[in-house]
Amino acid sequence: MQLNLRFLDWIWHVKGSLPLAPEVSTDQAFEKLDALLQVPGTTYTRDQDRLIFQKKNQPAQDKMSIFDSGVLQVKEASQGKRLYYNLVSKTLLFCFLAPALFFGFGKVFEFTKEYRAAAYSAAAIHTHPKGGGMGRRRKKTQ
């Protein structure tokens, strides 16, 4: 069974484009981005007008640390050159799914609270033969 993830893809993929100044060449555009890629844990390859990068164990100080991989491409469009980007981030996916995790924890605690309350009330009724329950103490006789 093939699952169509197109409706969920936007959560961890960032796609779009930016216009480039007419005088900026493809090489100049990638040279300006080079400083963002010269970070430990980042590898990249460049073919003519496309740059593909991967990141592993990126430091928190990395300006692009949220992205794990991506493709940057310069293309000629009707209104001039544009930089197209397709970036992937597992961190964004985690940020989207984290509330569901805490919602699940809340539901588990809610269920155990109800279960415990029922168990305590059942134990209170059956603990003392006269129905005294757990909350009552016997008076000491002297």
pLDDT at 45: 93
Q: Does domain 9-88 have CATH number 3.30.310?
A: yes
Q: Do 83 and 17 touch, CB atoms closer than 8 A?
A: yes
pLDDT at 96: 84
pLDDT at 17: 94
Give residues with Cβ within 8 angstroms of 62, minimum separation 6.
39, 41, 42, 55
pLDDT digits (tens, 9 = 90+) for 53-98: 999 988 888 888 889 999 999 998 888 899 999 999 988 888 888 8
pTM as predicted: 0.65
3-class secondary structure, 107? helix
pLDDT at 3: 58
Place of tokens 């990141």: 55
pLDDT at 112 over 90: no
What mean pLDDT do residues 43-47 have? Answer: 92
pLDDT at 34 over 80: yes
Paired tokens of 4: 């169509």
